Amino acid sequence: MKYDTIVPIGKSTIQHGFFNDRIYLMKIHPDDVVLIDQYLTDLQGLYQYAKIIMKVPLSLEKIYKTPDTIEEARIPGFYQGVEDALFLSRFLDPTRAEDDAHDKIQEIIQISLGKISLSKKGIHPVTWVMRKATMNDVTHICSLYRSVFETYPFPIQEPDYLKKIIQDGIEFFVGEISDRIVAAGSCEIDPYASAVEMSDLAVDEAYKGLGLSKKLLSYMEKQMKMKNVKTAYTICRAEPLPVNRLFAGAQYQYSGTLINNTQICGTYESMNIWYKTLH
């Protein structure tokens, strides 16, 4: 399986490819505006992708919000707790903008916002240990991801990839029961924004229903607060109830839906964005 390519452009980052049939401007630094504009133009001219999505600060809205661009989501105070981040999208293929699951997604959001408690039964704290992952954990984390995710936008089930992104600075955290890793999640910090993406949360099927995802998410948040990160956010699948209810129950705020954004199991799925102010 060929995943999309991540390309650093100056102090900024772009992801593009036919796996998701899109360009994603993941990070932009004001110093790179001219470079990014040219790169986006060149990429689209060469590959004719169906969607372009850009995460940009509010101060750059006039540059990127062209007549064919829509705002799909907004995270208040994303940059250093002060400036909003906008998720601006262009649909170059009109069929990619067709939101067939709109009603279902709205129902999921409303149900999630009404459900605060996730855990139905507890687990003795002595048997549940949370900690930052090390390179020695990579094989076990990949095994967990292979068992939980049928497909995923990034090859996190592959040890070489996981080792590389850990070396690049993405932090993984794990939960153990009887010295066995049964839960994992990641934190990707954007130092320029003082924001962190909470992602890759997974729990072994044998331990579902114990509230372990909520406990691990809370632990990850505490670790990020210790680093003085100001905003936490996630981009999760819009239709499954459990993951949306997890973040809503942890007091994250819904900030928008990215339509037909990510290829999962051979189809494009919409993604919800949830955020939480940490400081």
Q: Which residues pair with 5 in a beta bridge?
A: 16
Conformational region of residue 159, where left means phi above 0, alpha means psi within -120 to 50, and beta covers everything else: alpha
Distances, alpha carbon 176 to alpha carbons 14, 45, 105, 247, in Å: 35, 48, 33, 21
pTM beyond 0.85: the answer is yes
Classify residue 252 by its DSSP letter.
Answer: P
User: What is the residue-averaged pLDDT of the chain?
Assistant: 93
Go through the domains of the chain in sequence order and give each one's CATH number: 5-97 (3.40.630.30), 102-277 (3.40.630.30)
124, two tokens: 């003795």
Helix (H) or strand (E) holding 8: strand 5-9
Q: Report how far residue 52's alpha carbon sits from residue 69's, in angstroms, rounded to the nearest whole number.
A: 9
- Give mean pLDDT, residues 114-119: 55
- What local confidence, expressed as pLDDT, does residue 132 receive? 98
First-to-final CA distance of the chain:
40
243-276 confidence digits (pLDDT tens)? 999 999 999 999 999 999 999 888 999 999 999 9
User: What is the model's pLDDT at position 115?
Assistant: 56
> How far is residue 29's CA from residue 34's CA, in Å, rounded to a whole number?
10
Once rounded to an integer, what is the mean pLDDT over residues 99-125? 76
Please state, for a pLDDT cut of 90, what percent of the chain lies above it. 88
User: With DSSP H G I counted as helix, E B as strand and the rest as coil, what are the percentages for the chain, rounded to 5?
Assistant: 35, 35, 30
Cα separation, 213 vs 211, whole angstroms: 6
pLDDT tier for residue 126 given thresholds of 50, 70 and 90 = very low
The pLDDT-based confidence of 1 (bands split at 50, 70, 90) is: low
- In percent, how much of the chain has pLDDT > 70? 95
Instruction: Assess contact for 154 and 142: CB atoms under 8 A.
Output: no
The predicted structure's pLDDT at residue 2: 81
Mean pLDDT calculated for residue range 107-112? 94
Does residue 214 contact residue 246 with C-beta atoms inside 8 Å?
Answer: yes
Please state the rounded mean pLDDT for residues 233-245: 96
Q: How many angstroms separate the CA atoms of 249 and 115, rounded? A: 6
Instruction: Tell me the pLDDT tens digit for each residue of 202-232.
Output: 999 999 988 999 999 999 999 999 999 999 9
- Residue for token pair 């051979």: 266
Buried/exposed 48-78: b ≥16 CB within 10 Å, e otherwise: ebbbbbbbbbeebeeebbeeebeebbbbebb
Kindly state the DSSP code that residue 239 receives in the 8-state scheme.
Answer: S
pLDDT tens-digit map of 153-196 = 889 999 999 999 999 999 999 999 999 999 999 999 999 999 99
pLDDT score at 127: 77
Residue 122 — very low, low, confident or very high, per pLDDT cuts 50/70/90?
Answer: low
